[in-house]
Amino acid sequence: MTITDGSTSDSGLVEMTYRDAMRSAIADALATDERVFIMGEDVADYGGTYAVTKGLYEEFGRDRVRNTPLSESGFVGAGIGAALGGMRPIVEVMTVNFSLLALDQIVNTAATLLHMSGGQFNVPLVVRMTTGAGRQLAAQHSHSLEGWYAHVPGLKVVAPATPHDARWMLPSALADPNPVIIFEHSGLYNESGPVDLAAGPASLDRAEVRRPGDDVTIIASAGMVPKAMRAAEELAAGSAPIAAEVVDLRSLRPLDLDTLAASVERTHRAVVLDEGWRTGGLNGEIAASITERCFWTLDAPIVRLAAREVPVPYAKHLEEAAIPQVADIVDAVGRLVADTGGPT
Amino acid sequence: MTDTLTEIGHEHSRRLLQDMIRIRVFEERCAELYGEQKIRGFLHLYIGEEAIAAGVINLLETRDAVLATYREHGHALLRGVSAGSIMAEMFGKATGVSGGRGGSMHLFDEATRFFGGNAIVGGHLPLAVGLGLADQMLGRHGPVTVCFFGEGAVAEGEFHEALNLAALWNVPVLFVCENNRYAMGTSLRTSESQVDLALKAASYAIPAWSVDGMDVAEVTRATQRALVSIRSGGGPMFIEFQTYRFRAHSMFDPDLYREREEIEMWKQRDPIATFSARLVEAGIATDEDVASMWDAARDETEQAVAEAEAGPLEPVDDLDTNVVAPTEVTP
């Protein structure tokens, strides 16, 4: 694999966009394992709806960069069957919104086969899909339903939030004997960041502290991570500086509660961000789990900052108001810290 | 008539009869055991439809793959899963073919490439396409994936998505529609605007035809033709077998939606009774041969019950196993 984007530094780091990092991960997998193929709607000539697979079919051919009809349940199920038959399919479902048409295959089949067969048939399948709002695409193209999938035993659910994770979580997902769902927030594709090309496959079950801080823990995933980072910068630069620790979940199932608890036990305060709705959302699971483990060290109830309980609207100002923004995070964190004695 | 049996072969003909009887006896016993509450959950019996599994599965090779529905005890048995491990599964024992995690509807067996035991109607058709695709992409020429499903699945979107994909990708899959005329209590004519199911498959450019599923010889002949074509790279095929279940949909079903006369009419065409008579008439089997087939099937079934009774329950401490497979060391 030749990386043409970015510039190599002495440390082996290159600057890449999230999109290019994901594309190079797919290209590398296709080049190194003949069992790997990618299929989905418009992944070949069109280059993928989000241009992630652009150019791959010219290099690897139409069998291995395989266009499908608009049959989400059909081709996700075919991916499961191909995995059972010895392949390592990467199925691109254009967006989480359309994945609802494949819920039967993911929840009823991929997640259950190992168990129902008494351990005989595992499903080494990778399903990639975009998630999230923020591009004025209205209610049917702006869902954040990662939490639904994270609810289901038998699945692994990850959400790479950095170009480095976009590059290195895919090979781990392909090596995993279980179905792995990869959520890519559509707002991240143009974000650039350092990728260590020598790093190798990344863990699928650990959260990571993206920015250390002692005053409060901000827990985020996917598209909420860059917003949390910007909020933390603003909080640090304020007149009464607050040192916010930002933890990127990375894995939504399983949840890395050890890393979360270790942070909260130090900071005594936590704000959980979620681009999905609050009711029945993953944010509630995280808040409850941390409370169970850290109740006596908390200075205040855990704050949840989630999407407003409306279908995501089209109009820009309404869409912005519906999902947590940097200013909302700064405000929520600032109030939590102020109400509990201020920064240490 | 006799010509067909000669074509199939006398030994193969006797085997077809024996296998239909094995299913019948096994399932009659299952019904009794359900009454005794040894078997719980859902229990869907195949009684009346045995000619299809017997005709099709007896033509398969070890390299082929089989997917079936929740009415699959007979398919598993003929594919080579032991009667004891099927019965143990229904008893919920650790010695069951799926370790007691699946039950009647979820028999799975890696050794015989038996991929379920699938209980979402239509849900396994896309899997069959994927298994065929894997054979194709890995350069394995000759294996066929055989996918059994009922006519109720034809109303599901997954049927149409799967057939379209199968034809587009020319995968080696035989779609076997077991048309027993009722999706639970809903008759085909009240649920499909077009009741010619072969026509639906043909609309996806898949060769398709309709065959008498009560005649195991006809099932065999049609399947033979299809397998030859598929094995030589001819792409997917579809056969609708017209059949009837003599029992209700499941043990919970009071069977209020079918006329007694209709049931009795189909029972006159019992695939086992009619084929027994044909073999005796043609001199391929004697009455004594047929009687010993029933005896052998009873012995097999009683042995299976004894094995199931003796099997241990899985310790509750193991409950969390087989949810996710242990992750291998990442490369």
Instruction: Look at residue A12 in the predicted model and tell me its pLDDT.
Output: 80
The predicted pLDDT at position A6 comes to: 42
Query: What pLDDT sits at residue A5?
Result: 41
Task: Please list every residue in chain B whose beta carbon sits closer than 8 Å to the beta carbon of residue A158.
Answer: none
Q: What is the DSSP letter of A108?
A: I
Cβ of A120 within 8 Å of Cβ of B165? The answer is no
- Please classify residue B136 by burial: count the beta carbons closer than 10 Å to its beta carbon, then call 0-12 exposed, 13-18 middle and 19+ buried: buried
Q: Does B324 map to a domain?
A: no
Mean pLDDT in consecutive groups of 10 residues from the start of chain B, 331 residues = 84 98 98 96 96 98 98 98 98 98 98 97 98 98 98 97 98 98 93 95 97 98 98 98 94 91 96 98 97 98 98 97 81 39
In a domain, B328, yes or no: no
pLDDT at A37: 98
Q: What is the domain range of residue B90?
A: 2-312
Q: How far is CA A109 from CA A119, B97, B115, in A?
A: 14, 18, 11
Give A 242-301 residues with CB within 8 A of chain B: none
Strands A156-158 and A65-67 come out as unpaired
Domain count within chain B? 1
Mean pLDDT of chain A: 95
Residues in chain A: 344
Predicted confidence (pLDDT) at residue A8 exceeds the cutoff of 90: no
Q: Identify the active-site residue in A15, A58, A115, A141.
A: A141
In the residue annotation, A72 being an active-site residue is answered as yes
Residue A4 pLDDT grade (very low, low, confident, very high; cuts 50, 70, 90): very low
Whether the CB-CB separation of A171 and A29 falls below 8 Å is answered with yes
* Residue B64 within a domain: yes
Per the domain annotation, does B129 fall within a domain? yes
pLDDT at A287 over 60: yes
At residue A267 the predicted structure's pLDDT band, cuts being 50, 70 and 90, is: very high
Please answer yes or no on whether B331 and A85 come within 8 Å at the CB atom.
Answer: no
**Residue B317: count of CB within 10 angstroms of its CB:** 7
The verdict on residue B176 lying in a domain is yes
Residues B123, B97, B104, A75, Cα dihedral to 10°: 0
In the prediction, which pLDDT does A7 show? 46
- Set out the domains of chain A in order of their start, with CATH numbers: 13-196 (3.40.50.970), 208-339 (3.40.50.920)
> Would you call A41 an interface residue with chain B, using a CB distance cutoff of 8 Å?
no
Residue B323 within a domain: no
Is the pLDDT at A2 greater than 50? The verdict is no
Domain holding B208: CATH number?
3.40.50.970
Q: Is residue B319 part of a domain?
A: no
In this complex, the residue of B102, B123, B324 whose CB is nearest that of residue A118 is B102
Concerning whether A141 is annotated as a catalytic residue, the answer is yes
Average pLDDT over residues A56-72: 97
Q: Are A139 and A181 in contact (CB under 8 A)?
A: no
This complex has an ipTM of 0.96
Q: How far apart are CA B41 and CA B92, in angstroms?
A: 10
- In terms of Cα–Cα distance, which of B290, B218, B269, B271 is closest to B14? B290
Q: Which residues of B touch A104 (CB under 8 A)?
A: 120, 123, 158
The answer to whether residue B123 sits within a structural domain is yes
Lowest mean pLDDT: which of A18-22, A219-223, B28-32, B184-188?
Answer: B184-188
Would you place residue A186 in the very low, low, confident or very high pLDDT band (cuts 50, 70, 90)?
A: very high
User: Is B127's CB within 8 Å of A63's CB?
Assistant: no
List % helix, strand, coil for chain B (3-state, nearest 5).
Answer: 50, 10, 40
Q: Which position among A72, A184, A191, A245 bears the catalytic label?
A: A72
pLDDT value at residue B3: 82
Which residues of chain A does B161 touch, with a Cβ-Cβ cutoff of 8 Å?
Answer: 69, 71, 73-75, 77
Helices A257-267, A282-294: axis angle to 10 degrees equals: 60
